[in-house]
Structure formats: C-alpha cells, structure tokens
Amino acid sequence: MKKLKFWGRHSSLVLLLSVAGLVVDQIAKFWAVAHFSGGGIPTIPVGPFLDLVLVWNKGVSYGFFQQTTELGRWGLAAFTVVASVFIWFWSARASNRLEGFCLGLVLSGALSNGFDRLYYGQVVDYLYFHVGEFSWYVFNLADAWIVIGAAGLLLDTLFIGKNKDSRP
C-alpha cells in the first residue's frame, strides 16, 4: 500500500492558486452582497451577454441539489470539507504542472463556495450570462474555477498526461 503524501512537487502551485482563487471570488461576493443587499439596482449590465446580480443558492454549482434544511446545509458543508481534503491529497501526487494547476482551480472553487455555506448558510452567485432569449444559470467565479479545472483535468487525462501513449 502506498503512503499518503501531504506535500508534493506541485503543492506550492496548488496552494497559491487555491488561495488566490478563493480571495478573488470572496472579494467579488463581498462586493455583490454589499452592493445588491441594499435594495438598489437589481442588476448591472456588464456587456451584451453578462449582468451582475445577486442570487442566494442553497444547492451546489448552478443550483443543483437545493437544500432547505440545516441538515442539508451542514451535509453539503461536510461534503465540501471531505472533497477538499481529497483534492489536496490528489494534488500532492500530481504528475505535471497542468494537473496541479487544474486541481488548484477546483480546490479554490470548493473552498470559496464552502466558506459561503458556512458563513451565509448558502452560496453567493452573481454572474448572469445570457444571449438573446437564451438564459444561463447565475453562477460565481468559484463555479467557473471548478468547471475550468475539471475540464483541464479531463484534457490532461485524455490527451496530455504521462500515460497518454498507452491509451487505446
């Protein structure tokens, strides 16, 4: 059985990215809560496809698995802690910089949304993407970090990783 590693070759990168992503998202969330909670302007257009809004999300990314009870809230918070620990140990074994970078993004998103769940009891979403009649979910940078990181991990696994030549 292999021994669990707490720190690896790319752990500094993962730590830097996870802290930076957490801080950037929390600053944006703090601004959104402070700006929109006063009952002023309900939306701020940033461009033809993007608005800033405030939506409280009691679920996970993009509003899935809505939790309306304290048990649900703390269950999601506990899941976030377990997932974050798993991601950290995975990152200690990252085989290349891209894998470490992507795990740092995923970890920053998990930590930022987890912080919201603990502090507010729900997640602060503030980015509303839309094109014409098409409307996407309201999300936050933490959600974007998770999606970008997961997509990068998939690319690394399928095309870039150290074992790519041995795949069918």
**Which residues participate in catalysis according to the annotation?**
125, 143
**134 SS3 class:** strand
Map residue 20 onto helix, strand or coil.
helix
Return d(Cα 105, Cα 113) in angstroms, integer: 12
Question: For the chain, how far is it from start to end, CA to CA, in angstroms?
Answer: 28
Q: What is the DSSP secondary-structure string of 21-84? A: HHHHHHHHHHHHHHHHTTS--S-EE-SSSEEEEEEEESSSGGG-S---SHHHHHHHHHHHHHHH
